[in-house]
Amino acid sequence: MHNQSVIDSALDQPLQLGDHQLHSRLIVGTGKYENYDLMQKCLDASGAEVITVAVRRERLVDKEGRSMLDFIDTDRYTILPNTAGCFSAEDAVRVARLGRELLDQLNNPGKDWVKLEVLGDKKTLLPDPMGTVEATKELVADGFKVLCYTSDDPIMAVKIKEAGATSVMPAGSPIGSGQGVLNPNNIRIILELLKDGDADYPVIVDAGVGAATDVSTAFELGADGVLMNTGIAHAKDAFKMAHAMRYAALAGRLSYLAGRIDKKLYATASSPWSGVISYIPGE
């Protein structure tokens, strides 16, 4: 099947993320699916080339004794290990290194990067700002390309970029909340600050996406990518939503590149006035 997530090269450039070139700008998670078969179908339908996974003690198996890795084609997908669930810089660094070791065993190109999350609180899943910057510095020094989850705070985003992150990934709204992009102006400011004199610096909206419009909104604001999981995995029909998100990413990105019209208070007719046979009020 032709991969419809890939935009014609005449229309868009691939997204350069560290040493990786992404032709699909949608990155999807692998969690919360009803079963691994559905996950596999949804990953395919999303068109994503990069998928994120977590590092855990338990080897979670389904009823037939199968694990998630049995359903992931590691030759097809670049795996982005995350440090989800870590509440300190120290633990996040440990988990990042364990993830790298696993991807090294799988011989997957994702072994050089990590999606860094250092959480501050279990209820909000908001990041711990100090721990996030500390872990970023340590992981960068250890050779990692760090894609860093953060809130939509513009100054935090700047600090994380200064700490050496390959990409800053502000949340549109809380993880798994499905509230969409709650503060588009903060995302705009982040984009302006991080891309000032560095237009290609990648900013990815990570978290909070609930519907296709949210994905398109993120791209129309100028985000380079969107990372999401729950919005697909917990949709009533996850497989359909995976398609919707793929098209939303394409639509939003092209809409951004195309440049929207200015909003005007009054109507402007699309058909010419000249040659109208009827009476025009006021003329």
Partner 1 sequence: MMKLTVNGEPHEMSENAPSVRDLVVQLGFGDAPVAVEVNKQVVPKRDHETHALADGDVIEVVTLVGGG
Which of 15, 68, 86, 194 contacts partner 1 by CB under 8 A? Answer: 68
Which of 9, 105, 268, 270 contacts partner 1 by CB under 8 A? Answer: 105
Options 63-71, 133-141, 185-193, 255-263: segment touching partner 1 (CB under 8 A): 63-71
115 is an active site residue: yes
What letter represents residue 217's amino acid? Answer: T
102 binds partner 1 (CB under 8 A): yes
Would you call 162 exposed, middle or buried from its count of C-beta atoms within 10 A (0-12, 13-18, 19+)? exposed
Q: Which residue has the tokens 């999981």?
A: 229
Among 70, 38, 68, 40, residue whose Cα is nearest residue 56: 68
Q: Which is nearer to partner 1, 136 or 229 (CB)?
A: 229
Contact criterion met (CB below 8 Å) for 209 and 172: yes
Which residues in the 33-62 window bind partner 1 by CB under 8 A?
33, 39, 52-60
Q: Which residue has the tokens 């982040």?
A: 190
Q: Which is nearer to partner 1, 8 or 58 (CB)?
A: 58
- Which H or E run contains 78? strand 78-81
Q: Which is nearer to partner 1, 126 or 254 (CB)?
A: 126
Structure tokens belonging to residue 191: 């984009």
Instruction: Give the bridge partners for 20, in sequence order.
Output: 17
Selecting among 111, 115, 137, 159, the annotated active-site residue is 115
- Return residues touching partner 1 (CB under 8 A): 28-33, 39, 52-60, 67-69, 79, 81-82, 84, 94, 97-102, 104-106, 175-176, 227-230, 233
Q: Which residues are catalytically annotated? A: 115
